[in-house]
Chain A
Amino acid sequence: MALSGIQIYKLLPQTNCKDCGFPTCLAFAMKLAAKQVELAACPHVSEESKSKLAESAAPPIRLVSIKSDGYEAKSGNEVVLFRHEKTFYHKPGLFIQVKDNQSADEIKTKITPVDEYQVNYVGIDLTMDGFAVKSTSGDPATFANAINTVRQVSQRPLILMSSNPSVISAGLQAIDGETPLIHAADRENWEAMADLAKQHKCPLVVTGDTLDELAELTEKIKAKGVEDLVLDPAGRNFNDSLIKLTQIRRLALKKNFRPLGFPVMTIPGNAEDPAFEAMLAVQSIAKYAGFIVLDTFTPEMAYPLLVLRQNIYTDPQKPIQVQPGLYEINNPGEQDPVLVTTNFSITYFSVANEVEASGLPAWLLVTDAEGMSVLTAWAAGKFDAERIAKSVKGFNVEEKISQKRVVLPGHVAVLSGELEEELPGWDIRVGPREAVDIPSFMKQTL
């Protein structure tokens, strides 16, 4: 939790020596509280105060990062419980699990499509983040082999899963130089796991059945010098998992409770039922997980999960905009109508969806209205005859069609006169107000 200026002042030498460039220590403290200067500007501050101030400046949820050659998955630094309060920052990583008792062929068959998977959503290519290799054999050499097999196919970041430190050690050696995530330290093995994490400079997952146990373990492990931790609260069902993740997030943000100020991992893959797994993954995405381990990979499950993650982690203050342009729906030809709308994503989707569902071909002219809906943009002067005419010309609509006709959204019927002046020789039609009425309008009127 950030300290106030007065609290910071108490930690300063209080000599008003002006060496920092400010007239008094209090003035300097106020600037520090406002994060407008660095503490280093004070040459006299004690080591003890330095560490206290550094701690208070640390984010309530530590940022933890897993790296491999060319890839990174990170989680943490979240500041709110509800996305509308600000935004969620770091999208949770989606990892697919393989087991070391699977044959090399089985492992390759499972991970190849995951590694290659890419799906386009509103112009963004979405991919999975990496793999969790789990030791079911308990044998260090088998584990290292499985990891090598994964690395023959994919370079994406890894989570190494075993409760046996010698198995983890073999895995870490197999990918020396990378920064995988180790899963997991528990009350039995934590010392050896902490040593490995420290030696290989890797983040470490801490697991326990209760928050008490987790908090105790993270304190002990931090005392050994390992700071990059992730929590696995081992949720036993939807309810248990949701409550624990909520409590951890609340403790970190509202109480600045350092022992639980870390990103959280969930393992929906343990559900052993793909339908449950997908629903648990949804809960994890919406409610506070930072790393999510799945057992099942199918495109039809990965696609909605990746899209949901994108949606939940959209900044509510910056709505997704669609690239302005001339969009083709149902393979339009030169006789087909040109429908005008704005580049607010929801507006675009509502319109595109209805036209698409109608089965009728059309050109959709998405005008740059600075990401606002039709009425809002019109009221703000961002969607007027001039802008519409500009996009008709700018996107070379005329070259695509034989009949010079555009359809305006019903809400801006008032623009039709001006648009006729801007676009002489064009037939300006007024469509329905609501997207849902577009199909019948197209069938009956166009």
Chain B
Amino acid sequence: MPVEIPKDQWAGTVRLITLGATEADGGTRAHTVTVGGQKTLPFMNFEAESPNPPVLALEIKDRRPDDWSPLLLETWSEVINDPARWAEAAETAGADLIQLSLSLTNKDGEPNSPDSAVATVQSVLKATGLPLIVIGPGQAEADNNLLVPIAEATKGERLVLGICEDKNYRTIVATAMANGHLVTARTPMDVNLAKQLNILISDMGMPLDCILMDPTTGALGYGIEYGYSAMERLRLAALQGDSMTQFPMIVTPGFEAWKTKEAKVGDGVPESWGDWLNRAIHWETLTSMTLLEAGADILVLRHPESLKRLEAAIADLTTHPAVA
């Protein structure tokens, strides 16, 4: 019985966004990474084109992290004391992108200085040819103090700078615009808030091919259903033609999963939680997998094993086998 397969026709397309700039375009990256361009829901390649598969970033810090799970510290071993070597190791592990997250303080507990942050970014750019995402410590004043000199010192690299939030986005957007960078805009699990921040940023004159949106996802068991549905609704809105939602989505399952008790804690947890390391990697991987199904374009991870698994899953998700 021949079944007529209904195909969805969408008016909208997710914007194409290129991260990083090679020498020809005024940067120093070995190559660039492009995301977006979908004309249909995630992986529905039987009905329309999705030119760019989702990509995977590994997150590194500018110094040994204070609050990361011991499992992560053990995995990355001594490179965590040197962001340049950490970036190299992340590239070797197979990352498409590096996210460098800056700390609020240096290892002696003093505020992170602009000079030192710029030097760190430059050392990472030298160590890897991958496009780079640079995220501030997450406090408005510190973010602006550090990100402005970084943006100026790396003019033309098409870094992604963040995080823009409704309370603090102007300075970051302005410096990104002035220096040829991109921004990531984060809102808390809500379609309208996401759209509103995108509008505010574009109203400043930011080119629309320089904005990524981070809808905030929660981890498995910690509110992922809200993030998941917000992402599905954002992507549906984008395909329906709503221009201010047509940005690729960057999500941070590494950060979300590794702050859960399930990933962070090995002792004194219920036996039904099983083996700690495997559980932690499942938490990161399966959170990521859920977000991929909802339309994530860039996933920022922390563990190299998760990266390896998701790389294989993405390859499989974007290949439609011929009918035998």
Contacts and interface: CB of A to CB of B under 8 A. Distances in A.
B236 interface: yes
A346 B223 contact: yes
A46 B317 CA distance: 51
A239 B293 contact: no
A293 B276 CA distance: 24
Nearest to A242: B43
B312 interface: yes
Interface stretch (B2-10, B111-119, B140-148, B206-214): B2-10
Contacts of A250: 6
A445 interface: no
Interface string A100-132: 000000000000000001111100000000000
A242 B185 CA distance: 30
Contacts of B226: 346
Interface stretch (A14-22, A151-159, A255-263): A255-263
A298 B272 CA distance: 9
Contacts of A117: 272
B65 interface: no
Interface residues of B, number: 59
Interface string B41-82: 101111000000000000000000001000000000000000
Contacts of A302: 274
Nearest to A345: B223
B313 A216 contact: no
A311 interface: yes
Contacts, number: 169
Interface in A327-383: 345-346, 349-350, 353, 356-357
A15 B3 CA distance: 40
Interface in B299-324: 309-310, 312-313, 316-321, 323-324
Chain A interface: which size bin?
35 or more
A286 B320 contact: no
A398 interface: no
A141 interface: no
A87 to B, nearest CB: 10
A250 to B, nearest CB: 6
A303 B272 contact: yes
Interface stretch (B89-97, B176-184, B278-286): B278-286
A41 interface: no
A120 B223 contact: no
Given A238-B317, A345-B223, A279 B278 contact: no
Chain A binding surface SS class: helix
Interface stretch (B23-31, B194-202, B238-246, B257-265): B257-265
Given A215-B1, A239-B319, A250-B6, A278 B44 contact: no
Contacts of B236: 82
Interface of B: 1-3, 5-6, 41, 43-46, 67, 138, 218, 220-226, 228-229, 232-233, 236, 259-262, 264, 270-276, 278-279, 282-283, 285-286, 289-290, 293-294, 309-310, 312-313, 316-321, 323-324
6 tightest A-B CB contacts, nearest first: A300-B274, A299-B274, A300-B279, A119-B272, A216-B1, A238-B316
Given A211-B5, A250-B6, 14 more contacts: A82-B236, A120-B272, A215-B1, A237-B321, A239-B316, A239-B320, A279-B309, A279-B313, A299-B271, A303-B274, A304-B220, A307-B220, A312-B228, A350-B222
